[in-house]
Structure 1
């Protein structure tokens, strides 16, 4: 299943989705996994903090965190590469070194960093897949955590070790943890994509189930109305 490489009108997107309905999916959507929460977290009394997470196509990652209570903003973008001001076409070539990532701004008094990671590893993506998620392959779709503080680094590395030790997945976690590099927001047409294009077959098959899994598995953290970039 190829994603759209440029903005499409709703009419064109709907027509394309309808034409593809009889085609078999290129890959199965990632399944949610019930895993234990982090044994170690870092609660904070700060009013705002930032997390940068990469777990495949940023459309779905953004959508999940936009539906997470305590998140005040979730921006799709690029992180971890060497090129300044990367654009989508260059990133999807795999030559810039960037990962599609989402910058999550949240209120630590309502949702902790550990709780965000719990959601990230449980419903956002499959952290055992190397350089791919669903139908998307390449280093730009890698699983990565870009930490913005020493405490985030400690929580993230400890949680991965905890999950591997507990054999929470049939394979080892491949998620890389590193200090956050420069984050570059993606083009405007990538923002709020899952909300604006529910008729897209890609969104319906790969991303809407993630939101449903968030609601089912994390009812206390779920918010029905997403916090959208367009509303800012």
Structure 2
């Protein structure tokens, strides 16, 4: 009922290749973003932010990575939690051990650490697939648990492994309240989602989908399986 039965007529290639080519989708996404950025901060309590909304946004970020790796590239992975942990602890250490480092560069450097970790544990994908790859990537989860609990340097000598930082700022604006943390996390989610959408529309996205559908045929037509698989692990880990 919301979509035209005959589809959307486009008069140019540029219009057809928009991120959201269907007008109803653009309207719906605009409404959802308005609710998320304006209505929710006005109505939700601190408890709702800390217990539900902020964890939901964080899990949504993780789901984007899983969707790229498993959904678009077809590489079954159980190590996404480990990649998240490496990125989080990496950003924490950059922020804490380099006084004065801005938050955004610390997050980017933490993401690069997670990217390297993802590529390392993505190497088995060059030889195995399916259940065997899932078991191989599960090793990343056990290794990261051992590493962060046994090597106290990563957690700044925290016995439980739980870490936190204070005096968070972005462009001079403090990020201390639950509302500000939610809005900051949501803004990152929107930016990352747009970047991911652009990636899967491009050449690298088509390579991922070709590898997912039939890797042997993809190699025959000139796609490099090693590059496609490891790039999917790298992007999903970041």
Tell me which protein shows more strand as a share of its residues.
1
**TM-score, with normalisation over the residues of structure 1?**
0.24
Tell me which protein shows more helix as a share of its residues.
2
